[in-house]
Amino acid sequence: MNFKQKQDLIRFLETVMKEDRIKLIEKNVNERTRYVTVVLENIFQPQNASAVMRSCDCFGVQDLHVIENSNEYELNPDVVMGSSKWVDLKRYNSKDENTLDAINSLKKEGYRIVATSPHTNDVLLPDFDLTKGKSAFFFGTELTGLSDVVLDNADEFVKIPMYGFTESFNISVSASLVLNHLASTLRCSDVDWELTETEKLDLKLEWCLKSVKSGEKMINRFKKVQGIQ
């Protein structure tokens, strides 16, 4: 379907949706971003993995990338709280080692690879320059951290300021702290962080379909009325 047909389909779906849901979708689609994204490498605890997805939704980050080397990414329904319905999950699991594939894919999309790990060339999170372009923030396991593949291929390194004895934050807390800072900073900047109009339309259509019963039947009915093949 073209742009106009998608707009018409959204209006058709909205005839069976509650007004509150229509307004919420409209509001949230304008708050979504792909200017920053999150990448989890080999996370094995469902509770942490689910908490990160929930944070992505809460802070308006549309894509969550998951590298599954030796650990499969699992969600805990009690933690994710439905956020998996609204965040796009991109898995890298076709090989035994998938980290480099994820890095290359993100670089092709124009992302800077940012390792969240203490490093000799790191910068504190408040000093990270978001104006330099899109950024993919990599998080590793609490036990071993990020792999050498990420560290060797990272464009930049960032760390969260800490003032206590504990060596590091929990992975889900780290992601939440980083996303909170990024989301707030972007919205106070001149950076063009919003989705394109085409991306907004596609996402709005996707969310509307998830908000109605028998979405596929609704699409078929719309196409029949409109004479769309």
Q: How high does pLDDT run on average in the chain?
A: 91
Q: State whether residue 117 is helix, strand or coil.
A: coil
Q: What is the mean pLDDT of residues 123-144?
A: 93
Q: Look at residues 128, 125, 121, 116 and name the one whose alpha carbon lies nearest to residue 43.
A: 116
Tokens of 191: 């950076």
DSSP 79-106: HHTTGGGTSEEEEE-SSS--HHHHHHHH
Distance CA 203, CA 10 (A): 11
**CB contact set of 62 (below 8 Å; sequence gap of 6+):** 32, 33, 34, 37, 56, 87, 88, 195, 203
What order of strands is seen across the sheet that includes strand 63-67? 88-92, 63-67, 36-41, 135-139, 112-116, 156-159, 123-124
Taking every pair of Cα atoms in the chain, the longest distance, rounded to a whole number of angstroms, is: 67
Domains, in order of start, for the chain: 1-32+196-229 (no CATH), 37-193 (3.40.1280.10)
E strands present in the chain? 36-41, 63-67, 88-92, 112-116, 123-124, 135-139, 156-159
Distance CA 204, CA 41 (A): 29
Distance CA 75, CA 114 (A): 24
Distance CA 162, CA 84 (A): 30
Q: Name the band, by pLDDT with cuts 50, 70 and 90, for residue 229.
A: low
Whether the pLDDT of residue 80 is over 70: the answer is no
Distance CA 9, CA 106 (A): 32
pLDDT at 64: 96
Question: Bridge partners of 76?
Answer: none
pLDDT at 77: 66
At 165-200, the pLDDT tens digits run 887 888 999 999 999 999 999 999 999 999 999 999
pLDDT at 112: 98
CB atoms within 10 A of CB 180: 14
pTM of the full structure: 0.93
